[in-house]
């Protein structure tokens, strides 16, 4: 190099250090290159395909991934000790540097103390040169303070730049000048770099004559920084190696657990398909042996249950194929899940599995399928029975729920045409027998009365005999008329009934009770009305009156002394309570049957007619009775939507 005074050769020594620091730096460079390449590839994917990361699925996968959790645990296992070692190592290096600087400072101050104490402070101008000369001899920076003020420094340039404190720091001044300490070391900074400064009293005395020598030493010189950098890079490389090892070991452990889990999954899929599961390969972790053993037992139980189920299905199919009833099972969407041959025969079309029920059969079956759909929509829990006239046949339909799960129902179809015809013939035969019996009973007194009149025709008291006999004959004729009207009323078709109307149940009950109370005290039975009026109900006023008259007449014929007609449930319910003879418990199930009567004079149609009328109104009628205590007949009707003026007037 051309320098003033001639050409000079300048030699620079570059410390390449040992192979280990170079290996660490090379490994980190490779890792950074791989990370940069991965980032460039990901950026290319984003720009080319418009891929956007889905944060929520990624976080969910991170939270649920066993491999990631294991990798995080192993990374913590490797990383935390490395981090702790790094902190300890940096602290140790800092402490060692501090101890080395303190030792160097003490030795420098010890060597310079004698010479610095011999300086002549009467000539202040000579002090800086003497300090610089002493610094050159010891190859160390020195500062000299007298009376707390900088008297000289080995580097005047730093003093002129303000990098050397012109005053002794107050803590050091207090301890050395006022507390009589001879030596101390303290931390400081110069030019923004940390230093360690040692102070030693070289001239003792009062503060204004006391001289204190200071020796500064840098705490982060090139050698220290190089040592710290090597340590940081080594620890970073160790942390990266630990992370890679954690990921690799987590992958090994996850694969080791995934193999038996995959084998279990394949076996479960095979069991679900109904095929024999594959055998488990040997070498599975010991922890999985109980699981695999339990799975094999479960697979055996499933195969046994499946065989039993298939056998039961075959038996059910055989039974359904031989029954005379058509059976159809449907799911919640009216799709056929099971149907026997009889059902397909009745419907007149194929009922394959999965067929929609609304598409089966001719259009005349629509009413039946609508009833099934309504049953499913209502979620009924009881069996529904209905009859439909389809193609000249009387089809009896029974619908039963399968249960809450699965949704669906079973539909049973029966051709009841012949049975209905036979039941009708039997009913007419029973009706003819009952009519003949009821008519024959009044005819006997009439015949006997006529014969008596024939014998008494020539006698003197014929007029009285004629009057009495004629009265009895007329009474029996009236009885015949009542019987004929009762049978006519019971046999009248429901289609001829008048439409329903709003009826004030309390008003009709009051009218009937007042009619039966006309006898006053002379009557053996006392009638009473209880309850309050309410909104009208759906019924027919004349028929309601007829039913109540029939019930009160039954109570009086049963020997009741007190009859209460009670209106309740907001005017929707009326009950007739009496204290008559009552009905035996074994006869209660037959009270609403035609021709049933507990008296010899009744036709047995009163309660049957009452039930038929109440059913036509959409209501219910029930009867409870205790032998010797009385009977209660309760009628519950449906509330009307509005109340006409005609009923209000009543």
Of 165, 198, 221, which marks where a domain is finished?
A: 221
CB atoms within 10 A of CB 519: 11
Alpha-carbon distances of 268 from 77, 286, 617, rounded to whole Å: 36, 20, 60
Check whether residue 472 and residue 526 sit in a common domain.
Answer: no
Instruction: Please determine, for residue 279, whether its predicted confidence score (pLDDT) is greater than 80.
Output: no
Domain membership of residue 549 (yes or no) is yes
- Coil, strand or helix: which one is 53? coil
Check whether residue 125 and residue 200 sit in a common domain.
Answer: yes
Which of 20-29, 228-237, 279-288, 533-542 ranks highest by mean pLDDT?
533-542
Check whether residue 478 and residue 507 sit in a common domain.
Answer: no
CB 618 within 8 A of CB 538: yes
Which residues lie below 8 Å from residue 159, measured CB to CB, with a gap of 6+? 150, 153, 166
* 576 cis-preceded (ω within 30 degrees of 0): no
Q: Is the dihedral of CA 266, 271, 276, 281 positive or negative?
A: positive
Cα 106-111-114 angle, rounded to 5 deg: 120
Instruction: Please name the residue ranges forming H helices in 274-354.
Output: 289-322, 341-347
Domain membership of residue 387 (yes or no) is yes
Domain membership of residue 55 (yes or no) is no
Mean pLDDT of the chain, nearest integer: 78
Of 415, 432, 452, which marks where a domain is finished?
A: 415
Sheet holding 620-626, edge to edge: 526-531, 562-568, 573-578, 630-636, 620-626
Question: Residue 194: which CATH number?
Answer: 3.30.450.20
Phi and psi at residue 296, to the nearest 5°: -60, -40
Question: Which residues constitute the domain of residue 501?
Answer: 496-649
Residue 191 tokens, joined: 């030019």
At how many degrees (to 10) do helices 222-273 and 289-322 cross? 30
Per-residue confidence band for 634, with pLDDT thresholds at 50, 70 and 90: very high
- Compute the residue count for the chain: 650
Query: Which residue has 């202040």 as its token pair?
Result: 124
Check whether residue 549 and residue 632 sit in a common domain.
Answer: yes
Q: Is the dihedral of CA 594, 595, 599, 602 positive or negative?
A: positive
What mean pLDDT do residues 274-279 have? 77
CB 640 within 8 A of CB 633: no
Check whether residue 500 and residue 628 sit in a common domain.
Answer: yes
Question: Residue 643: which CATH number?
Answer: 3.30.565.10
Of 174, 201, 221, which marks where a domain is finished?
A: 221
Summarised one tens digit per residue, pLDDT across range 283-311 is 677 777 787 788 788 888 888 888 888 88
Distance CA 512, CA 525 (A): 14
Q: What is residue 459's DSSP assignment?
A: S
Summarised one tens digit per residue, pLDDT across range 480-496 is 665 566 555 555 555 55
What mean pLDDT do residues 612-620 have? 85
Summarised one tens digit per residue, pLDDT across range 544-590 is 887 888 888 888 888 888 889 999 888 889 999 998 888 888 888 77
Distance CA 491, CA 478 (A): 20
Q: Which of 559, 568, 564, 561 is nearest to 512 (CA)?
A: 564
Summarised one tens digit per residue, pLDDT across range 296-354 is 888 888 888 888 888 887 887 777 777 778 898 888 888 888 888 888 888 888 888 88
Q: How many domains are there within the chain?
A: 4
CB 129 within 8 A of CB 123: no
Q: Which of 335, 337, 377, 341 is nearest to 358 (CA)?
A: 335
The pLDDT assigned to 646 comes to 40
Phi and psi at residue 379, to the nearest 5°: 65, 40
Check whether residue 503 and residue 582 sit in a common domain.
Answer: yes
CB atoms within 10 A of CB 320: 18
Residue 209 tokens, joined: 């004559």
Check whether residue 344 and residue 448 sit in a common domain.
Answer: no
Instruction: Please determine, for residue 222, whether its predicted confidence score (pLDDT) is greater than 80.
Output: no
Query: Which residue has 């015809």 as its token pair?
Result: 421
Q: Which of 542, 551, 547 is nearest to 498 (CA)?
A: 542
Percent of the chain's residues with pLDDT above 90: 2
Domain membership of residue 519 (yes or no) is yes
Instruction: Please name the residue ranges forming H helices in 170-323.
Output: 170-173, 222-273, 289-322
Domain membership of residue 562 (yes or no) is yes
Q: What is residue 335's DSSP assignment?
A: B
Domain membership of residue 311 (yes or no) is no
Instruction: Please name the residue ranges forming H helices in 407-528.
Output: 417-455, 462-491, 505-516
Give me the DSSP letters along 130-161.
HHHHHHHHHTS--EEEETTEEEEES-HHHHHT
What mean pLDDT do residues 34-51 have? 79
The pLDDT assigned to 90 comes to 75
Q: Which of 496, 576, 498, 506 is nearest to 537 (CA)?
A: 506
Check whether residue 344 and residue 453 sit in a common domain.
Answer: no
- Longest CA pairwise span in the chain (Å): 194
* 406 cis-preceded (ω within 30 degrees of 0): yes
Q: Which of 300, 256, 269, 231 is nearest to 85 (CA)?
A: 231
CB 540 within 8 A of CB 638: no
Q: How far apart are the first and last CA of the chain?
A: 136
Instruction: Please determine, for residue 118, whether its predicted confidence score (pLDDT) is greater than 70.
Output: yes
Check whether residue 636 and residue 504 sit in a common domain.
Answer: yes
> Half-sphere exposure (CA, 13 Å, Cβ side) for 423?
6
CB atoms within 10 A of CB 25: 16
Check whether residue 486 and residue 518 sit in a common domain.
Answer: no
Summarised one tens digit per residue, pLDDT across range 424-458 is 666 555 555 555 545 554 555 666 567 666 666 66
Instruction: Please determine, for residue 600, whether its predicted confidence score (pLDDT) is greater than 50.
Output: no
Domain membership of residue 235 (yes or no) is no
Check whether residue 350 and residue 385 sit in a common domain.
Answer: yes
Percent of the chain's residues with pLDDT above 70: 81
Give me the DSSP letters along 91-106.
HHHHHHHHHHHHHHHH
Burial (Cβ within 10 Å: 0-12, 13-18, ≥19) of residue 545: middle
Domain membership of residue 288 (yes or no) is no
- Coil, strand or helix: which one is 221? coil
Check whether residue 487 and residue 509 sit in a common domain.
Answer: no
> Half-sphere exposure (CA, 13 Å, Cβ side) for 340?
21
Q: Is the dihedral of CA 50, 55, 56, 57 positive or negative?
A: positive
Alpha-carbon distances of 199 from 142, 193, 308, 513, rounded to whole Å: 10, 19, 100, 128
Give me the DSSP letters along 369-388.
HHHHHHHHHHT--S-EEEEE
């Amino acid at each position: 190099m051309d320098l003033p005074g001639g050409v000079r050769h300048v030699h620079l020594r570059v410390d390449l250090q040992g192979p280990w620091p170079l290996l660490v730096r090379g490994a980190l460079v490779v890792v950074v290159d791989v990370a940069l390449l991965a980032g460039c590839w990901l950026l290319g994917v984003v720009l080319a395909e418009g891929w956007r990361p889905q944060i929520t699925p990624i976080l969910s996968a991170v939270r649920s991934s066993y491999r990631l959790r294991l990798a995080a645990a192993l990374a913590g296992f490797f990383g935390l000790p490395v981090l702790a070692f790094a902190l300890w190592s940096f602290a140790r290096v800092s402490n060692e540097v501090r101890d080395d600087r303190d030792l160097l400072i003490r030795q420098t101050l010890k060597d310079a103390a004698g010479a610095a104490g011999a300086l002549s402070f009467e000539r202040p101008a000579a002090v800086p040169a003497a300090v610089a000369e002493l610094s050159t001899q010891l190859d160390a920076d020195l500062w000299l303070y007298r009376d707390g003020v900088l008297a000289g420094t080995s580097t005047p340039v730093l003093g002129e730049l303000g990098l050397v404190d012109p005053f002794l720091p107050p803590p050091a001044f207090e301890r050395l000048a006022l507390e009589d300490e001879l030596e101390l070391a303290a931390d400081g900074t110069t030019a923004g770099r940390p230093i360690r400064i040692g102070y030693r009293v070289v001239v003792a005395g009062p503060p204004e004559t006391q001289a204190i020598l200071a020796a500064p030493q840098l705490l982060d010189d090139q050698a220290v920084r190089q040592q710290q950098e090597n340590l940081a890079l080594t620890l970073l490389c160790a942390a990266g190696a630990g992370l890679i090892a954690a990921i690799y070991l987590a992958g090994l452990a996850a694969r080791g657990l995934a193999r038996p889990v995959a084998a279990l999954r394949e076996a479960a899929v095979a069991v679900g398909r109904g095929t024999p599961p594959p055998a488990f390969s040997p070498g599975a972790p010991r922890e999985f042996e109980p699981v695999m053993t339990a799975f094999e037992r479960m697979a055996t139980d499933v195969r046994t249950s499946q065989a039993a189920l298939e056998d039961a299905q075959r038996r059910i199919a055989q039974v359904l194929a031989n029954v005379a009833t058509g059976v159809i099972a449907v799911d919640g969407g009216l799709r056929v899940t099971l149907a026997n041959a009889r059902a397909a025969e009745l419907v007149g079309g194929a009922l394959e599995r999965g067929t929609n029920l609304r598409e089966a059969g001719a259009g005349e079956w629509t009413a039946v399928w609508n009833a099934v759909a309504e049953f499913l929509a209502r979620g009924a829990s009881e069996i529904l029975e209905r009859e439909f006239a389809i193609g000249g046949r009387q089809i009896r339909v029974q619908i039963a729920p399968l249960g809450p799960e699965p949704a669906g129902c079973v539909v049973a179809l029966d051709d009841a045409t012949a049975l209905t015809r036979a039941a009708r013939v039997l009913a007419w035969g029973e009706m003819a027998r009952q009519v003949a019996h009821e008519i024959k009973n009044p005819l006997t007194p009439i015949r006997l009365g006529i014969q008596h009149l024939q014998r008494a025709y020539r006698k003197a008291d014929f007029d009285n005999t004629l009057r009495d006999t004629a009265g009895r004959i007329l009474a029996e004729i009236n009885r015949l008329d009542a019987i004929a009207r009762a049978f006519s009323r019971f046999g009248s078709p429901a289609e001829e009934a008048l439409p329903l109307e709003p009826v004030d149940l309390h008003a009709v009950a009051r009218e009937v009770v007042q009619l039966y109370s006309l006898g006053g005290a002379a009557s053996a039975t006392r009638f009473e009305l209880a309850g309050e009026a309410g909104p009208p109900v759906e019924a027919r006023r004349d028929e309601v009156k007829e039913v109540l008259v029939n019930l009160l007449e039954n109570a009086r014929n049963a020997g009741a002394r007190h009859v209460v007609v009670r209106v309740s449930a907001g005017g929707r319910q009326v009950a007739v309570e009496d204290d008559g003879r009552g009905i035996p418990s074994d006869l209660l199930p037959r009270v609403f049957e035609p021709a049933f009567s507990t008296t010899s004079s009744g036709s047995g149609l009163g309660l049957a007619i009452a039930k038929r009328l109440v059913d036509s109104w959409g209501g219910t009628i029930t009867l409870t009775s205790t032998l010797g205590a009385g009977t209660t007949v309760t009628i519950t009707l449906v509330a009307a939507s509005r109340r006409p003026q005609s009923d209000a007037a009543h």
